[in-house]
Structure 1
């Protein structure tokens, strides 16, 4: 039997925009030789009967049953280098197509399709924004609906406060590191990826009202202005 990382605690699947669903769960990992426990988000986009998973989070039995009631998982998208823990579980369970950023291709030839700004995507109304200066592969999906929606991984975050998925030690460390900042650029990603201002100048040219990120709460209605202020603060752009 193939073994996958176990399901961790998570909340319920919620529809946050028409045909776009959101679920928050726990993540446990070791970084800088320290144990961390914090929250992360999976985004689910439904097109007809198809379900496309972004930033996958393994769900427990009740969560999987709720997922199956929404439709059939056909595609799993990995937008960032620092995510992917639960991708293999969904690929195996649903025999789904895997999509990854350039530089994140699995070792097995043909196991994934590479995302690209000029290539086909598994979403009908989407385009891909690719960070060009980042040391880590990272992308953002831009959906051309409801005034524009960004689906992000680690580069964009909207953590307002720690939730029930945090341990005390992680909460304290992340408060000191400035994680709990609205419409933020992820502090650890920023340090590891070292992106240049030119990427955020390009990102500001996209039109969007909403942003759903790999960490934090959905940012609805005023996302472009809020993130624009953060880009100005961090990159003077």
Structure 2
């Protein structure tokens, strides 16, 4: 395991909806600068799909194995966490032989290559999923819509819900990310927006997607009011 990046602190796996799980972990962006990041887990029978994978501790992996068998991992965004994008994907491919799903044109760490290319209307790693792609983003970026529970959007960098600094932030990261506009509920990822420059019309399309909840890779689940809250954010940022 020494050839993989070290595992960093994370919380417990929680079940948000039936067969939909969420765990908050962390990543060291640089020495002394740690932020949180989150992984969504979808279960179909005994098959697990990990979205924006976060490496778990041995105890965490035992809990994961209780849920089912990891067969798929998904990379939804190219910009996601910058240099740390896809940091733990090689670990899960090595440990479980998981298949990697990603958009066309994405590059991967550890010499990995995409096993299944994601595209709107194409094959999905598990049932009840559809794909939304930000066509104007300078780097490939997409979201899943899980067609259960009145709709659940699963996002990478584009939509975030860091409503407050959590226990996984270092002090330096907490200060910098707050000043940078990251610590806001129902937010558009500030650096993703700046770097990838999506067209405002993309968010009009997002507002028409059928969803009620958001499971972000940055922040906590936003349940029941996600669409209403995000539409208000879109209106404010693109007014």
Shorter-normalised TM-score: what interval?
over 0.9
Residue 19 of structure 1 pairs with residue 22 of structure 2: no
In the other structure, the counterpart of 1:134 is 137
- Cα distance change, pair 36–102 in 1 and its aligned pair in 2 (3 A): farther
- Cα distance change, pair 161–105 in 1 and its aligned pair in 2 (3 A): same
**Aligned Cα RMSD in Å?**
1.7
In the other structure, the counterpart of 2:93 is 91
- Cα distance change, pair 150–233 in 1 and its aligned pair in 2 (3 A): same
In the other structure, the counterpart of 1:3 is 3
Structure 2 residues not aligned, in runs of 5+: none
Q: How far has the Cα of 1:2 moved from its partner?
A: 7.1
Of 108-117 and 227-236, the range deviating more from structure 2: 108-117
- Distance in 1 (alpha carbons) for counterparts of 2:176 and 2:182: 9
- Distance in 2 (alpha carbons) for counterparts of 1:167 and 1:109: 30
- Cα distance change, pair 175–106 in 1 and its aligned pair in 2 (3 A): closer
Residue 48 of structure 1 pairs with residue 50 of structure 2: no
- Distance in 1 (alpha carbons) for counterparts of 2:99 and 2:215: 22
TM-score (norm 1): 0.94
Q: Residues 74 and 95 of structure 1 are in contact (CA less than 8 Å); yes or no, is this contact kept in structure 2?
A: yes
What SS does the aligned partner of 1:58 have? Answer: coil
Among 58, 63, 66, the alignment partner of 1:61 is 58
Deviations, residues 127-154 of structure 1 (Å, cap 9, x unaligned): 1000011112111000111100000011
Q: Residues 156 and 183 of structure 1 are in contact (CA less than 8 Å); yes or no, is this contact kept in structure 2?
A: yes
Q: How far has the Cα of 1:103 moved from its partner?
A: 1.5
In the other structure, the counterpart of 2:105 is 103
Q: How far has the Cα of 1:36 moved from its partner?
A: 2.6
In the other structure, the counterpart of 1:201 is 204
- Distance in 1 (alpha carbons) for counterparts of 2:113 and 2:27: 29
In the other structure, the counterpart of 1:169 is 172
What SS does the aligned partner of 1:100 have? Answer: strand
Residue 79 of structure 1 pairs with residue 80 of structure 2: no
What SS does the aligned partner of 2:43 have? Answer: strand
Number of residues of Structure 1 aligned to a counterpart in Structure 2 = 233
Q: Residues 105 and 112 of structure 1 are in contact (CA less than 8 Å); yes or no, is this contact kept in structure 2?
A: no
In the other structure, the counterpart of 1:191 is 194
Among 221, 226, 229, the alignment partner of 2:229 is 226
- Distance in 2 (alpha carbons) for counterparts of 1:111 and 1:100: 6
- Distance in 1 (alpha carbons) for counterparts of 2:170 and 2:123: 40
Q: How far has the Cα of 1:187 moved from its partner?
A: 0.9
- Distance in 2 (alpha carbons) for counterparts of 1:9 and 1:129: 31
